[in-house]
Amino acid sequence: MAIKKFEIPELLKDKPSHGACQGCGHGICWRIIYEVVEELGYKNKHVIFHDLACGSHGLFATHGHAFSGAHGRAIPTATGYKRIRPDMLVFSYAGDGATYNIGMQHTVHTAARNENITAIVVNNTNFGMTGGQMSATSLIGQKTTSSPAGRDSKENGNPIDIVNLYHGMDIAYLARGAVDSVPNINKTKNYIRKAFQKQMAGEGFSLVEILAPCPTNWNLTPAAALDRMENEIFKIYTLGEFIERSAK
């Protein structure tokens, strides 16, 4: 008799391999998200909203309900759907470029309105799909295809940290996890669970940022990409829960 089993969720089974690169963190993010969706009993009552970037490979990785909107517009598309169908678990899934560059106005104003949705942001500190250009979250000194000499704070500004940006905002939940190691993956899964539970309890907007490796555009091996996360990225973007409002 089987007593212990580690198997991917039903929503991801029997699908062709997703198109993410070797060592990309997106695959892990999708798995923990759909594990939580199934554990909470929303297998047939959820919709994921993508935009157009690496994250939208997830459209083809799942049997669940999914929608792909315009680039950077995952959050407003999810907002519109949630207003019509408040009974559904609704979450957006996009990268740092989409959420903190292209769709920044939505990121700010959706939080200001405290819309009852969850935003999942995969932060790999660059625009992955278009070839590794600098994004709002690229670190100072980070070499990208659009900052070949490294990001310069005088010319390009400082990285945007969502925790500082949302400081004092009246939202339900804000947390930052990572998918570099087993403990961090398990913690991130818990953050996602909490965010979904808060949404379904009607508490308002929740955002979970997930730091993920991008070996292809960082020009590193997968193992070196994880080292970079630990030695450089975690020092700038600290992990943990930052806003947690108790139920009204």
Partner 1 sequence: MVKITYNAARCKGCHYCVNACPKKCVAPSGELNEAGYETVKFNEADCIACGSCYTVCPDYAIKIEKED
**Residues found near partner 1 in the complex (CB under 8 A):** 1-8, 12, 17-18, 20-28, 31, 181-182, 185-186, 215, 222-223, 226
Pairing of β 173-178 and β 118-123:
unpaired
Tell me the one-letter amino acid at 126. N
Minimal CA–CA distance to 213: which of 234, 194, 235, 187? 234
Nearer to partner 1, 158 or 181 (CB): 181
Nearer to partner 1, 18 or 45 (CB): 18
Nearer to partner 1, 15 or 109 (CB): 15
Minimal CA–CA distance to 215: which of 60, 20, 29? 20
Nearer to partner 1, 78 or 214 (CB): 214
User: Is the Cβ–Cβ distance between 78 and 92 less than 8 Å?
Assistant: yes
Min CB(107)–partner 1 separation in Å: 26
In sequence order, what are the beta bridge partners of 157?
none
Tell me the one-letter amino acid at 226. L
Min CB(35)–partner 1 separation in Å: 10
Nearer to partner 1, 20 or 139 (CB): 20
Min CB(9)–partner 1 separation in Å: 10
Residue 174, classed as helix, strand or coil, is strand
Minimal CA–CA distance to 33: which of 16, 14, 47? 47
d(CA 97, CA 115): 21
Min CB(192)–partner 1 separation in Å: 14
Min CB(215)–partner 1 separation in Å: 8
Min CB(209)–partner 1 separation in Å: 18
HEC letters along 91-109? EEEEEHHHHHHHCHHHHHH
Nearer to partner 1, 170 or 227 (CB): 227
Min CB(14)–partner 1 separation in Å: 11
Burial class (CB in 10 A: 0-12, 13-18, 19+), 93: buried
Pairing of β 173-178 and β 240-244:
antiparallel
Nearer to partner 1, 44 or 181 (CB): 181
Tell me the one-letter amino acid at 58. G
